[in-house]
Amino acid sequence: MRLIIALLAVTVGVTVAAEPAAEPAADPAVYAQGELLYHAAGCVGCHSVPGLPHLGGGRDNPTVFGTFYAPNISPDLEQGIGAWTEGDFFTAMRDGRAPDGRLYWPTFPTMAYTKMTDADIHALWVYLSAQPAVQAPERAHEPKPIYAFPGALNLWRIMEFRPGPLSPEPGLTDPQQRGQYLVQAVTYCDQCHTPRSKIGRMRRGRYLAGGANLGKLEIHPNLTPDPEAGIGAWTEDDMVRFLTTGEKPDGSFAREDWVMHEKVRDSYSRLSEEDKRSIYAYLQTVPADDFDPEARWGEEAAP
Protein backbone atom coordinates (compact mmCIF):
# COMPACT_ATOMS: atom_id res chain seq x y z
CA MET A 1 0.00 0.00 0.00
CA ARG A 2 2.80 2.40 0.93
CA LEU A 3 4.44 1.56 -2.36
CA ILE A 4 1.29 2.39 -4.30
CA ILE A 5 0.97 5.73 -2.55
CA ALA A 6 4.62 6.47 -3.27
CA LEU A 7 4.14 5.56 -6.93
CA LEU A 8 1.02 7.68 -7.13
CA ALA A 9 2.89 10.60 -5.61
CA VAL A 10 5.58 10.23 -8.25
CA THR A 11 3.04 10.04 -11.06
CA VAL A 12 1.22 13.10 -9.80
CA GLY A 13 4.54 14.92 -9.48
CA VAL A 14 5.43 14.15 -13.07
CA THR A 15 2.04 15.25 -14.38
CA VAL A 16 2.27 18.55 -12.56
CA ALA A 17 5.77 19.15 -13.85
CA ALA A 18 4.85 18.34 -17.44
CA GLU A 19 1.83 20.61 -17.58
CA PRO A 20 2.47 23.77 -15.59
CA ALA A 21 -0.71 25.54 -14.62
CA ALA A 22 -1.46 28.48 -16.90
CA GLU A 23 0.24 31.52 -15.38
CA PRO A 24 -1.76 34.71 -15.03
CA ALA A 25 -0.56 37.28 -17.57
CA ALA A 26 2.57 38.98 -16.22
CA ASP A 27 2.32 42.47 -14.76
CA PRO A 28 3.85 44.64 -17.54
CA ALA A 29 5.96 46.69 -15.12
CA VAL A 30 7.44 43.55 -13.54
CA TYR A 31 8.04 42.03 -16.97
CA ALA A 32 9.82 45.22 -18.14
CA GLN A 33 11.98 45.20 -15.00
CA GLY A 34 12.88 41.56 -15.68
CA GLU A 35 13.77 42.35 -19.28
CA LEU A 36 16.00 45.24 -18.20
CA LEU A 37 17.74 43.04 -15.63
CA TYR A 38 18.18 40.24 -18.16
CA HIS A 39 20.31 42.68 -20.13
CA ALA A 40 21.89 44.84 -17.41
CA ALA A 41 22.93 41.82 -15.32
CA GLY A 42 24.58 40.25 -18.36
CA CYS A 43 22.42 37.11 -18.64
CA VAL A 44 21.97 37.97 -22.31
CA GLY A 45 25.69 37.83 -23.07
CA CYS A 46 26.07 34.24 -21.88
CA HIS A 47 22.65 32.70 -22.43
CA SER A 48 21.59 34.34 -25.72
CA VAL A 49 24.41 34.01 -28.19
CA PRO A 50 24.04 35.90 -31.48
CA GLY A 51 23.03 33.48 -34.23
CA LEU A 52 21.66 30.94 -31.74
CA PRO A 53 18.11 30.86 -30.32
CA HIS A 54 17.24 33.43 -27.63
CA LEU A 55 17.90 31.89 -24.17
CA GLY A 56 19.32 28.75 -25.75
CA GLY A 57 22.70 29.20 -24.03
CA GLY A 58 25.83 27.94 -25.70
CA ARG A 59 28.27 30.73 -24.87
CA ASP A 60 31.68 29.35 -24.01
CA ASN A 61 33.42 31.16 -21.20
CA PRO A 62 37.15 30.46 -21.11
CA THR A 63 38.67 31.11 -17.67
CA VAL A 64 41.83 29.94 -15.97
CA PHE A 65 39.71 27.21 -14.38
CA GLY A 66 38.50 25.79 -17.68
CA THR A 67 35.75 26.51 -20.19
CA PHE A 68 32.12 26.59 -19.12
CA TYR A 69 29.11 26.62 -21.42
CA ALA A 70 26.00 28.58 -20.53
CA PRO A 71 22.99 26.23 -20.60
CA ASN A 72 19.54 26.62 -22.14
CA ILE A 73 17.40 28.65 -19.70
CA SER A 74 14.32 28.94 -21.92
CA PRO A 75 11.06 27.42 -20.66
CA ASP A 76 11.64 24.24 -22.68
CA LEU A 77 10.56 21.33 -20.47
CA GLU A 78 13.35 18.97 -21.48
CA GLN A 79 16.32 21.10 -22.45
CA GLY A 80 15.57 24.32 -20.61
CA ILE A 81 14.19 25.16 -17.17
CA GLY A 82 10.51 24.82 -18.09
CA ALA A 83 9.95 22.23 -15.37
CA TRP A 84 11.36 24.51 -12.67
CA THR A 85 9.29 26.26 -10.03
CA GLU A 86 10.03 29.84 -9.07
CA GLY A 87 11.49 28.36 -5.87
CA ASP A 88 14.03 26.40 -7.95
CA PHE A 89 15.00 29.63 -9.69
CA PHE A 90 15.48 31.39 -6.35
CA THR A 91 17.68 28.49 -5.20
CA ALA A 92 19.83 28.87 -8.32
CA MET A 93 20.21 32.63 -8.04
CA ARG A 94 20.39 32.97 -4.27
CA ASP A 95 22.17 29.78 -3.31
CA GLY A 96 24.11 28.90 -6.48
CA ARG A 97 22.63 25.39 -6.60
CA ALA A 98 20.64 23.37 -9.10
CA PRO A 99 17.30 21.85 -8.01
CA ASP A 100 19.14 18.54 -7.48
CA GLY A 101 21.58 20.24 -5.07
CA ARG A 102 24.57 20.36 -7.43
CA LEU A 103 26.70 23.51 -6.97
CA TYR A 104 27.15 25.71 -10.02
CA TRP A 105 30.53 26.72 -11.39
CA PRO A 106 31.14 30.39 -10.59
CA THR A 107 31.16 31.39 -14.26
CA PHE A 108 27.45 31.73 -13.51
CA PRO A 109 28.07 34.78 -11.29
CA THR A 110 25.82 33.77 -8.41
CA MET A 111 28.28 35.32 -5.93
CA ALA A 112 26.85 38.61 -7.27
CA TYR A 113 23.27 37.58 -8.00
CA THR A 114 22.78 36.15 -4.50
CA LYS A 115 22.79 39.81 -3.41
CA MET A 116 19.79 40.75 -5.58
CA THR A 117 16.49 41.70 -3.96
CA ASP A 118 13.60 39.23 -3.99
CA ALA A 119 11.71 41.66 -6.25
CA ASP A 120 14.49 41.64 -8.85
CA ILE A 121 14.88 37.84 -8.85
CA HIS A 122 11.09 37.54 -9.17
CA ALA A 123 11.09 40.00 -12.11
CA LEU A 124 13.75 37.93 -13.90
CA TRP A 125 11.65 34.82 -13.38
CA VAL A 126 8.55 36.53 -14.78
CA TYR A 127 10.50 37.65 -17.86
CA LEU A 128 12.19 34.28 -18.46
CA SER A 129 8.95 32.32 -17.99
CA ALA A 130 7.20 34.41 -20.64
CA GLN A 131 9.78 33.71 -23.40
CA PRO A 132 9.32 31.02 -26.03
CA ALA A 133 10.77 27.57 -25.31
CA VAL A 134 13.71 26.65 -27.53
CA GLN A 135 15.38 23.35 -28.26
CA ALA A 136 19.09 23.60 -27.64
CA PRO A 137 20.99 20.85 -25.89
CA GLU A 138 23.47 21.58 -23.09
CA ARG A 139 27.19 21.29 -23.71
CA ALA A 140 29.40 19.61 -21.12
CA HIS A 141 31.79 21.91 -19.23
CA GLU A 142 35.53 21.44 -19.60
CA PRO A 143 37.07 22.24 -16.21
CA LYS A 144 40.85 21.93 -16.05
CA PRO A 145 41.62 18.57 -14.44
CA ILE A 146 43.29 20.13 -11.37
CA TYR A 147 40.05 21.96 -10.52
CA ALA A 148 37.74 19.06 -11.30
CA PHE A 149 38.27 17.12 -8.05
CA PRO A 150 35.19 16.34 -5.94
CA GLY A 151 34.68 19.07 -3.38
CA ALA A 152 36.44 21.77 -5.42
CA LEU A 153 33.25 23.80 -5.64
CA ASN A 154 32.53 23.32 -1.95
CA LEU A 155 35.96 24.68 -1.17
CA TRP A 156 35.50 27.66 -3.46
CA ARG A 157 32.14 28.29 -1.89
CA ILE A 158 33.50 28.34 1.65
CA MET A 159 36.10 30.89 0.55
CA GLU A 160 34.07 33.10 -1.75
CA PHE A 161 30.31 32.67 -1.56
CA ARG A 162 28.36 34.82 0.90
CA PRO A 163 24.67 34.00 0.34
CA GLY A 164 21.86 36.44 0.91
CA PRO A 165 20.61 39.84 -0.18
CA LEU A 166 23.09 42.73 -0.09
CA SER A 167 23.66 44.52 3.19
CA PRO A 168 24.16 48.19 2.39
CA GLU A 169 27.38 49.76 3.64
CA PRO A 170 26.63 52.19 6.46
CA GLY A 171 26.76 55.91 5.80
CA LEU A 172 26.02 55.89 2.07
CA THR A 173 23.64 58.37 0.42
CA ASP A 174 20.68 56.96 -1.56
CA PRO A 175 22.47 57.16 -4.96
CA GLN A 176 25.63 55.62 -3.47
CA GLN A 177 23.53 52.78 -2.02
CA ARG A 178 21.85 52.21 -5.36
CA GLY A 179 25.31 52.24 -6.95
CA GLN A 180 26.60 49.66 -4.46
CA TYR A 181 23.64 47.42 -5.32
CA LEU A 182 24.29 47.71 -9.05
CA VAL A 183 28.07 47.26 -8.79
CA GLN A 184 27.89 44.26 -6.45
CA ALA A 185 24.59 42.48 -7.19
CA VAL A 186 23.57 43.28 -10.77
CA THR A 187 26.30 44.55 -13.10
CA TYR A 188 29.06 42.87 -11.01
CA CYS A 189 31.75 45.39 -12.00
CA ASP A 190 33.68 44.32 -8.90
CA GLN A 191 33.96 40.67 -9.97
CA CYS A 192 36.09 41.69 -12.96
CA HIS A 193 37.73 44.86 -11.68
CA THR A 194 39.09 43.48 -8.36
CA PRO A 195 42.39 41.58 -8.24
CA ARG A 196 42.23 37.87 -7.44
CA SER A 197 44.71 35.44 -6.01
CA LYS A 198 45.88 32.49 -8.10
CA ILE A 199 43.07 30.32 -6.72
CA GLY A 200 40.47 32.92 -7.64
CA ARG A 201 39.89 34.62 -4.29
CA MET A 202 38.91 38.26 -4.55
CA ARG A 203 41.47 40.47 -2.79
CA ARG A 204 38.98 42.53 -0.82
CA GLY A 205 41.71 44.78 0.60
CA ARG A 206 42.30 46.01 -2.96
CA TYR A 207 38.63 46.34 -3.84
CA LEU A 208 38.09 47.47 -7.47
CA ALA A 209 41.82 48.14 -7.96
CA GLY A 210 41.89 46.17 -11.23
CA GLY A 211 41.98 42.56 -12.36
CA ALA A 212 42.54 40.28 -15.30
CA ASN A 213 40.98 37.32 -17.04
CA LEU A 214 44.04 35.35 -18.00
CA GLY A 215 41.78 32.72 -19.60
CA LYS A 216 40.96 35.36 -22.21
CA LEU A 217 44.13 37.45 -21.81
CA GLU A 218 42.25 40.61 -20.82
CA ILE A 219 43.20 43.32 -18.34
CA HIS A 220 40.45 44.96 -16.24
CA PRO A 221 41.54 48.51 -15.27
CA ASN A 222 41.63 50.05 -11.79
CA LEU A 223 38.27 51.73 -10.99
CA THR A 224 39.21 53.31 -7.66
CA PRO A 225 39.40 57.12 -7.36
CA ASP A 226 43.22 57.06 -7.55
CA PRO A 227 44.07 59.95 -9.94
CA GLU A 228 46.90 58.08 -11.70
CA ALA A 229 46.21 54.35 -11.48
CA GLY A 230 42.42 54.64 -11.23
CA ILE A 231 39.66 56.82 -12.63
CA GLY A 232 40.04 59.71 -10.19
CA ALA A 233 40.25 62.13 -13.10
CA TRP A 234 36.91 61.00 -14.59
CA THR A 235 33.83 63.17 -14.04
CA GLU A 236 30.35 61.79 -13.52
CA ASP A 237 29.51 62.77 -17.11
CA ASP A 238 32.59 60.89 -18.34
CA MET A 239 31.25 57.74 -16.67
CA VAL A 240 27.75 58.23 -18.12
CA ARG A 241 29.26 58.63 -21.61
CA PHE A 242 31.51 55.59 -21.19
CA LEU A 243 28.70 53.33 -19.94
CA THR A 244 26.52 54.52 -22.83
CA THR A 245 28.97 54.48 -25.76
CA GLY A 246 32.27 52.97 -24.55
CA GLU A 247 34.10 56.25 -25.17
CA LYS A 248 36.73 57.21 -22.60
CA PRO A 249 37.58 60.80 -21.63
CA ASP A 250 40.68 60.71 -23.88
CA GLY A 251 38.47 59.95 -26.90
CA SER A 252 39.54 56.30 -27.22
CA PHE A 253 37.00 53.49 -26.98
CA ALA A 254 36.85 50.21 -25.05
CA ARG A 255 38.55 47.63 -27.28
CA GLU A 256 36.09 45.78 -29.46
CA ASP A 257 37.77 42.43 -28.88
CA TRP A 258 37.54 42.69 -25.07
CA VAL A 259 34.49 42.06 -22.95
CA MET A 260 33.83 45.63 -21.74
CA HIS A 261 32.83 46.70 -25.25
CA GLU A 262 30.14 44.04 -25.35
CA LYS A 263 29.08 44.78 -21.77
CA VAL A 264 28.51 48.44 -22.63
CA ARG A 265 26.69 47.65 -25.86
CA ASP A 266 24.41 44.87 -24.60
CA SER A 267 24.11 45.56 -20.88
CA TYR A 268 25.18 48.86 -19.33
CA SER A 269 23.98 51.22 -22.06
CA ARG A 270 20.46 50.08 -21.17
CA LEU A 271 20.69 51.36 -17.60
CA SER A 272 18.91 54.62 -16.87
CA GLU A 273 21.10 57.71 -16.70
CA GLU A 274 20.28 57.91 -13.01
CA ASP A 275 21.64 54.39 -12.48
CA LYS A 276 24.82 55.24 -14.37
CA ARG A 277 25.28 58.25 -12.10
CA SER A 278 24.68 56.06 -9.05
CA ILE A 279 27.45 53.69 -10.19
CA TYR A 280 29.82 56.65 -10.40
CA ALA A 281 28.67 57.89 -6.98
CA TYR A 282 29.42 54.52 -5.41
CA LEU A 283 32.82 54.14 -7.11
CA GLN A 284 33.81 57.48 -5.57
CA THR A 285 33.36 55.99 -2.08
CA VAL A 286 35.87 53.17 -2.58
CA PRO A 287 39.39 53.73 -1.14
CA ALA A 288 41.86 55.02 -3.75
CA ASP A 289 44.46 52.36 -4.60
CA ASP A 290 47.55 52.74 -6.78
CA PHE A 291 47.56 49.08 -7.93
CA ASP A 292 48.39 48.71 -11.62
CA PRO A 293 46.85 45.56 -13.16
CA GLU A 294 48.70 46.19 -16.41
CA ALA A 295 52.07 46.07 -14.61
CA ARG A 296 50.97 42.97 -12.66
CA TRP A 297 49.43 40.94 -15.49
CA GLY A 298 50.19 42.82 -18.70
CA GLU A 299 52.98 40.50 -19.71
CA GLU A 300 51.00 37.34 -19.00
CA ALA A 301 48.05 38.82 -20.89
CA ALA A 302 50.02 40.13 -23.86
CA PRO A 303 48.59 38.67 -27.07
Nearer CB in complex with ligand HEC: 5/100: 100
Show contacts with ligand HEC in window 164-183 (CB under 6 A).
none
Using CB under 6 A as the binding rule, whether residue 260 contacts ligand HEC is answered as yes
CB of 4 to ligand HEC, least distance (A): 32
Query: b/e map of 218-230 (b: 16 or more CB within 10 Å)?
Result: bbbbbbbbbeebb
- Cα four-point dihedral sign 200, 202, 205, 206: positive
Binding mask 271-300 for ligand HEC (x = CB under 6 A): --------x---------------------
**Inter-residue long-range contacts of 215-218, CB under 8 Å, 24+ positions, other chains counted:** 215/61, 215/62, 215/63, 215/64, 215/65, 215/67, 216/62, 216/63, 216/258, 216/259, 217/300, 217/301, 217/302, 217/303, 218/258, 218/259, 218/301
CB of 24 to ligand HEC, least distance (A): 21
Query: Which listed residue (217, 259, 288, 301) binds ligand HEC by CB under 6 A?
Result: 259
- Cα four-point dihedral sign 243, 244, 249, 254: positive
Query: Which listed residue (36, 136, 185, 189) binds ligand HEC by CB under 6 A?
Result: 189
Show contacts with ligand HEC in window 120-159 (CB under 6 A).
124
Nearer CB in complex with ligand HEC: 19/100: 100
CB of 1 to ligand HEC, least distance (A): 36
CB of 296 to ligand HEC, least distance (A): 14
Using CB under 6 A as the binding rule, whether residue 229 contacts ligand HEC is answered as no
**Cβ contacts of 41 within 8 Å, gap of 6 or more:** 113, 116, 124, 186, 187, 188, 267
Q: Are 41 and 73 in contact (CB under 8 A)?
A: no
Distance CA 66, CA 135 (A): 26
Neighbours of 286 (CB within 10 A): 19
Size of the site for ligand HEC (CB under 6 A): 43
Query: b/e map of 128-148 (b: 16 or more CB within 10 Å)?
Result: bbebebbebeebebebeeebe
Cα angle 94, 98, 101 (rounded to 5 degrees) comes to 100
Using CB under 6 A as the binding rule, whether residue 41 contacts ligand HEC is answered as yes
CB of 234 to ligand HEC, least distance (A): 7
Using CB under 6 A as the binding rule, whether residue 46 contacts ligand HEC is answered as yes
Query: Which listed residue (90, 104, 161, 207) binds ligand HEC by CB under 6 A?
Result: 104
Nearer CB in complex with ligand HEC: 133/279: 279
Q: Are 160 and 202 in contact (CB under 8 A)?
A: yes
Using CB under 6 A as the binding rule, whether residue 196 contacts ligand HEC is answered as no
Q: Which region among 11-19, 144-152, 215-223, 293-301 touches ligand HEC (by CB under 6 A)?
A: 215-223
Using CB under 6 A, list all residues that contact ligand HEC: 41-43, 45-47, 61, 68-71, 73, 81, 92, 98, 104-105, 107-109, 113, 124, 187-189, 191-193, 218, 220-221, 223, 231, 242, 248, 254-255, 258-260, 263, 268, 279
